[in-house]
Structure 1
Amino acid sequence: GMYEFSKGEYIKAITFYRYAERKLDKVADELERAEFFFKMAEIFYHMKQTHLSMYYVEQAYHAYKANSIYQVRLIQCRFVIAGNYDDLVSYEKALPHLKRALQESIALGHDYITTKGLLNLGSCFNKQDDVAKATVYYQRALELGEKIGAKEVVQACYDLAIIFFKQGRKEEALDYCVKGKSYAEKYDDSMFVDLFNVLHELYVTVSPSVEVNQKFDQLLYSRGYPYLEDLALEAGRFYNDIERLDDSVFFYKKMIQVQKLIQRGDFEYDV
């Protein structure tokens, strides 16, 4: 399951995790059980199955909180909790977890987790349309991530590119696109290569919706769904602002289509 998760094959990963869950009653060690709960919480978060993710992460969080040697896992639980609150539009509940996580990761001297913390705070402020604060945190994440060779630099570049495209700062946005795509290729992340291609087709070429949609459809798989949902909304707004209403409506409909795919989940059941 962890192997499939690492490849972005979330449906396959969940299938294996569920087979493992049937054996969980034979595992006596509470921290081993917590590790399983964390993995379940993580994958359901990535698939935007918010309430399932919160169910599992709560169990993992309390187990790790009771054991002081699992500080990194506790911070990672905070990330998942905050991400779920973001998806529930409860930013006031997400921020305390993210700020505490950043403080703890800095205190530990753990640069990789600190990079993640900066990136997650940027995302939280971005979702609140506080792009000034979001930009600061994304740029700090990018700077630290480049220093330590963390693949999270790809996400930072992607989010910064969108912010600057939306602000009409095309040259700066293109710089982040070029840098981000280069990092995506370096880290062999084909999904982000495709996402940067979509940004170029949308904001630079300003192609008709049918042509942009061809790039979108390359991302129709479980790891790509959340990005597609957000990007379809941005595309709808972009075309609306330049008064290409047919293209705008097309992408608003695309967003609804992707939301349905997320809600369905494509889970495999035995009944």
Structure 2
Amino acid sequence: MAVKIPSASVGVKINDWYNAIRKFNVTDAEMLKAEIERDIFRMEEDQDLLLYYALMEFRHRIMLDYIRPLEEEKVPPDFSEILKDIEDKQGKLTGLLEYYFNFFRGMYEYNNHDYIKAISFYRRAEKKLRHVEDEIERAEFHFKMAEIFYHMKQSHVSMNYALQAIETYQAHETYKVRRIQCEFVIAGNYDDLESSEKALPHLENALKLVREESQRILEGHTFYNLGNCYYKMGKADQAAEYFHKAVVIYKEETSDTLTKACFSLALAYFKLKQNEQAHDIFNEGFKIAQQSNDAIYISKYHFLQALYINEDGMDSLSETFQLLESRKMYPDIEDLALEAAEYYNEIGLLSDSVYFYQIVFNARKQIKKGDWSYEV
């Protein structure tokens, strides 16, 4: 009779697997995953450990979705089966496992642009944070909270979480990718607080760290964030240069961030009245959004089309705002409405401009209230 492997020894390997995932060390993570999968079949029965394994497999797929962009012709990974398997067992989750479920599910919803659901799951995870003793795991949680609140323009809340996270990561040399991502979030918050001159040093530091890591996709993200920073400063020409650099890298890496980068580059070109380049990159990005069935970006490209290409007027523009409002994406509403308001002001359609400035004002009121970001 074959000797069963103690579940505790498999549990140690799963911990090592998770450490590799958090460091974005794909090679080690894949190797440990394969080893654990072999051990599971020879392990003594332990339902809690099998749940831990299922949760970590879910987290592993989220990592791969971020670090390994899709190859051409491949469809995005289907998380539905693994999610259903975990949710069927959710009643058995307690303590640390319950924390992991809600934390990882929040990451999944964030990646799907459903920020309200993401915050809801993160808040549930936060209630279980007392079960987490590892300082790196606490830093992971703080980073993810910083990231989501940055996207919802809750800048001071985001900055507080980001500073907690980066303090821990700076003490651990092997977590350089997360340090870089923290610099992105801190810089983005300074942009939203209209202090872009404070954002630039963080992005320059991120670029230095990225080049030490030789991670091409992260270099693309840094260029994109630099473009965003210069755009917020009103320097559309410099923004376009960095957005273009990001687009080049995202094409090389077949990154799903290409849709967003093409949108930002097209917007910068329209702002600069470089209409031929704007049309070319618009068509490219719009096609990618349609191929990936990205409802949010399809709607945003329709917005650009209505504003700058077809000049369809407010009815067409309003359709984008209706979709964004249904998702409570008030920061996106604010940004797009401001683009429309400034454009109509520039061409002398003052009543239309005032209409969109009112949308900006209403969106900012919702962001300032922040009630929607605490729903559980």
Letter in 1 for 2:324: L
Alignment pair present for 1:245 and 2:350: yes
User: For 1:1-48, what per-residue CA distance to the aligned partner results, in whole angstroms no more than 9, with x for missing partners?
Assistant: 122212212112112111111121221110011111111111001100
Counterpart Cα distance in 1 of 2:152 and 2:375: 17
Corresponding residue of 1:157: 262
State the percentage of identical aligned residues.
43
Any runs of at least 4 consecutive aligned residues in structure 1 with deviations exceeding 4 A, and if so which? Answer: none
Corresponding residue of 1:130: 235
Corresponding residue of 2:141: 36
Corresponding residue of 1:142: 247
Classify 1:86/1:185 alpha carbon distance in 2 versus 1 (closer, same or farther; 3 Å): same
Letter in 2 for 1:105: V
- Measured after TM superposition, the shift of residue 223 of structure 1 is 6.8
- Measured after TM superposition, the shift of residue 134 of structure 1 is 1.2
Counterpart Cα distance in 1 of 2:228 and 2:234: 10
Write out aligned runs for 1:101-140 (5 A).
Answer: 101-140=206-245
With normalisation by structure 1, the TM-score equals: 0.94
* Larger mean Cα displacement after TM superposition, 102-111 or 74-83: 102-111
Preserved contact between residue 116 and residue 375 of structure 2 (Cα < 8 Å): no
Alignment pair present for 1:21 and 2:122: no
Preserved contact between residue 8 and residue 223 of structure 1 (Cα < 8 Å): no
Counterpart Cα distance in 2 of 1:112 and 1:223: 29
Preserved contact between residue 145 and residue 152 of structure 1 (Cα < 8 Å): yes
Preserved contact between residue 209 and residue 251 of structure 1 (Cα < 8 Å): no
Give ranges in structure 2 of 5+ residues lacking alignment: 1-105
* Larger mean Cα displacement after TM superposition, 236-245 or 71-80: 236-245
- Measured after TM superposition, the shift of residue 222 of structure 1 is 4.7
Preserved contact between residue 115 and residue 152 of structure 1 (Cα < 8 Å): no
1:95 alignment partner, one of 195, 200, 206: 200
Letter in 2 for 1:39: K
Alignment pair present for 1:202 and 2:307: yes
User: For 1:209-262, what per-residue CA distance to the aligned partner results, in whole angstroms no more than 9, with x for missing partners?
Assistant: 233213322222457432221111111121122222221111111111222222
Secondary structure in 1 matching 2:173: coil
Secondary structure in 1 matching 2:117: helix
Secondary structure in 2 matching 1:150: coil
Alignment pair present for 1:261 and 2:366: yes
Preserved contact between residue 209 and residue 250 of structure 1 (Cα < 8 Å): no
With normalisation by structure 2, the TM-score equals: 0.69
Corresponding residue of 2:166: 61
Classify 1:194/1:241 alpha carbon distance in 2 versus 1 (closer, same or farther; 3 Å): same
- Measured after TM superposition, the shift of residue 120 of structure 1 is 0.3
Counterpart Cα distance in 2 of 1:233 and 1:199: 13
Question: For the aligned residues, what is the CA RMSD?
Answer: 1.6
Alignment pair present for 1:211 and 2:309: no
Counterpart Cα distance in 1 of 2:209 and 2:336: 32
User: For 1:72-94, what per-residue CA distance to the aligned partner results, in whole angstroms no more than 9, with x for missing partners?
Assistant: 01100110111111111112221
Counterpart Cα distance in 2 of 1:73 and 1:263: 28
2:278 alignment partner, one of 165, 168, 173: 173
Classify 1:234/1:74 alpha carbon distance in 2 versus 1 (closer, same or farther; 3 Å): same
Which of structures 1 and 2 has the larger relative contact order (alpha carbons within 8 angstroms, sep 6+)? 1
* Larger mean Cα displacement after TM superposition, 123-132 or 259-268: 259-268
Preserved contact between residue 108 and residue 118 of structure 2 (Cα < 8 Å): yes
User: For 1:193-212, what per-residue CA distance to the aligned partner results, in whole angstroms no more than 9, with x for missing partners?
Assistant: 11011110111121232332
Letter in 1 for 2:357: Y
Give ranges in structure 1 of 5+ residues lacking alignment: none
